[in-house]
A and B are shown apart, each in its own frame.
Chain A
Amino acid sequence: MSTLRRPAVVATGVRKSFGETVVLDGVDLAVAEGTIFALLGPNGAGKTTMVRIFSTLVPADAGRVRVAGHDVADDPDGVRAAIGVTGQFSAVDDLLTGAENLRLMADLNHLGRRAGRQRVGELLDRFGLAGAATRPVSTYSGGMRRRLDLAMTLVGSPRVIFLDEPTTGLDPRSRRRMWDDIRDLVAGGVTIFLTTQYLDEADELADRIAVLDRGRIVAEGTPDELKRRVPGGHIRLQFADPAALHAAAAHLDAAAADEERLVLRVSGNGDVASLRRLLEQLEEAEIAVEELSIHGPDLDDVFFAVTGHPTLEQEAAR
């Protein structure tokens, strides 16, 4: 966060289209060294494309990106030597054992026999994989694969680490554990750029958050700054049938409907006056509500406040 820190990642005016589809539409951002930066957005917002551009996998159509002081277009090998990437899809060799996967990384990082063996042992211990080191990766659980994936990324001691949805598909316990591992990394001075569609994850880990929506950064700041941008939380209304949901959605402003769960989120803090007004409105329109609950501000509200549309809508559309 400190302005004295050198930026580890700087992007200016990054654009990318695949055919007719514009995926990134002029993205600017800067990530300070030694911090965690979360790129938050729903599926299809362009998060993965951004990571792929930053990690030299695909070229941008326009704009400049510098990672660890190297330009991704002019000096991709300079970037590659400084980064580690853990993609959304596991990048481990299923036919090899955990230890063999790590040794492969040690060899490709030219660590030398003794240093390589030491680093492999160290990482196996640190990620709790020592017991499974000689088992083929095909027998690993989802959490173990993800930890091995991250361990492989760390073999070369990268200064900037890209994590594309590091906890997608993990059970709550593995997820907590991954969060702890990520926090430990920053303690060592590493910069982390992570993408997530989990709002609590960004809140939990990041020093700064950027909200990506349809290829544009629509908001950026610390979690607290972003939360301050919404006046309050929201009120959650649960309905018995779609007709009641639609009637209520038409009647109330600043409302986001979740068709699948028959839930309507209404912005506003749960003070007595606004709550009374809401109930009056519902009664006038003769709409029956199954259940009502009041929620403090979370990042879903931030997303709705900055984009004008909910994340739920896009999830449902997919």
Chain B
Amino acid sequence: MSALVYTLSDSATMLRRNLLRLRRYPSLTLLLVGMPIVFLLLFVYVFGGQLGHGLDTSLTGGRSGRAGYLDYVTPGILLMTVAAAVQGTAIVVAMDMTGGIVDRFRTMAIARSAVLTGHVLASLIQAALSLGIVLGVAVALGFRPGAGPLAWLGAVGVLALFSLALIWLATALGLAARSVETASNTPMFLTLLPFLGSGFVPDASMPTGLRQFAHYQPFTPVTETLRGLLTGTPIGADAVTAVAWSLAIALASYLWARRLYARKRSA
């Protein structure tokens, strides 16, 4: 068998292991998916009536009031779901690295990349499940995206690419953490970023300094692109920026994670 076949089969083995672990430890997934759902309910029912009236209907895809705000906030909540899900990635990666099992893997003749690839693929599946659940809740609350099949495909693509980027970032953070506790805290700033962007309210309404941060941070173009694809708001140049940010974060984090993994010593 060639090296490539071994790499694929070892990665598949590691993926199976991680999916099995996810099934044995469902409380972590439930906890992480619970957070965006709570924020969705909170913002739609507590603040949504008022916020919805302040929004121009061109930003909501046509509806106004609470229903309009639901349309507006759902893309932001979906990105928050991804940000919350990757906390789980950092935790399970750190659990592996601080335990003895990674040393066992390192002393075996297996493809070097398989351990991390297994984590990343399992996390992608976990993120997809979380997104499915949160989207389901949003639809149950009355979210009615007007997207056609092509726009849906685009939305799935944007979410997948952005998830991949944050998952590699969380993997690197999990590798860099000295303990599982640290690993569960460091990616938390990611769940704040949808607030400091156009996830919950338009960034145009913010004071200057914050507005500039919101305008240039990666969550904003991704939110705008996703919102445009799902509800038909204008996208413009945001699509290109969103893809560029996602690719850049994914690549930089991948290289960082690879370096940390190669160097990691639990001496």
**Residues 51-85 of chain A: 1 if any B CB is under 8 Å from the residue's CB, otherwise 0?**
01001111000000000000000000100110111
Query: Is the beta-carbon distance between A57 and B107 smaller than 8 angstroms?
Result: yes
Chain B positions within 8 Å of A89 at CB level: 99-100, 103
Given contacts A91-B101, A96-B20, A110-B6, are A56 and B13 in contact (CB under 8 A)? no
Given contacts A93-B17, A104-B17, are A58 and B267 in contact (CB under 8 A)? yes
Q: Which bracket fits the contact residues of B?
A: 20 to 34
Chain A positions within 8 Å of B100 at CB level: 87, 89-92
Query: Is the beta-carbon distance between B267 and A49 smaller than 8 angstroms?
Result: yes
Which of these, B101, B107, B110, contacts A83 with CB under 8 Å? B107
Most buried by B among A84, A110, A152: A110
Complex: how many Å from CA A87 to CA B266? Answer: 12
Asked whether any CB of chain A lies closer than 8 Å to the CB of B1, the reply is yes
Query: Is the beta-carbon distance between A77 and B265 smaller than 8 angstroms?
Result: no
Query: Is the beta-carbon distance between B1 and A110 smaller than 8 angstroms?
Result: yes
Chain B positions within 8 Å of A156 at CB level: 108
Query: Is the beta-carbon distance between B267 and A85 smaller than 8 angstroms?
Result: no
Chain B positions within 8 Å of A57 at CB level: 103, 106-107, 265
Chain B positions within 8 Å of A44 at CB level: none
How many chain A residues touch B (CB < 8 A): the figure is: 31
Query: Is the beta-carbon distance between B107 and A96 smaller than 8 angstroms?
Result: no
Query: Is the beta-carbon distance between B108 and A80 smaller than 8 angstroms?
Result: yes
Complex: how many Å from CA A85 to CA B101? Answer: 11
Asked whether any CB of chain B lies closer than 8 Å to the CB of A95, the reply is yes
Asked whether any CB of chain A lies closer than 8 Å to the CB of B224, the reply is no
Q: Which residues of B contact A (CB under 8 A)?
A: 1, 6, 9-10, 13, 16-17, 20-21, 24-25, 99-101, 103-110, 265, 267
Starting from the known contacts A57-B106, A92-B100, A95-B24, 8 additional A-B residue pairs (CB-CB under 8 Å) come to: A52-B267, A56-B107, A84-B107, A91-B99, A91-B104, A104-B17, A108-B105, A108-B108
A-B contact pairs, 14 of them (CB 8 A): A55-B107, A57-B265, A81-B109, A84-B107, A87-B100, A87-B104, A91-B100, A91-B103, A92-B101, A93-B17, A95-B20, A104-B13, A108-B10, A153-B104
